[in-house]
Amino acid sequence: MPTAKQDLQALTKLGAKAEPSRSLEVFPNHAPGKIAVTLHCTEFTCLCPLTGQPDFADIEIVYTADKFVVESKSMKLYLETFRNVGVFHEHLAVDIGEDFVKFVKPLAVSVTVKFHVRGGIAIDAQWEWKR
């Protein structure tokens, strides 16, 4: 089934100059409960909450869509809001996961943050939720 015009009605960021924000836009899912979506972000940056040094990570979000699918530009702009924020890696996984559930309302979601090596240690944190 092709994307219908009404599927696009609620989208304000796609195709427009939009500022980063802590909100996510969605569009209707044509196959509720039958589609798994994986989002890969390989250019994520934030700051160490104590030192202010930059941290770099790969983020993977895997979810089973219910009534809505997240619009990818809004996801990109959402992740960009962390660029100048001090956040522990483990807290980041929780923050992204809880916001994702709030806006997208999936059946299930897993957020994995894989931080690059700094100080000889790489940290991965995973947050999971299921309705």
* Interatomic CA distance for residues 28 and 37, integer angstroms: 14
Active site (catalytic) residues: 48, 55
Helix or strand or coil: residue 115? strand
Q: What angle do CA 114, 94, 91 make, to 5 degrees?
A: 70
Q: Let me know: does 39 contact 78? Beta carbons within 8 Å.
A: no
* Amino acid present at 32: P
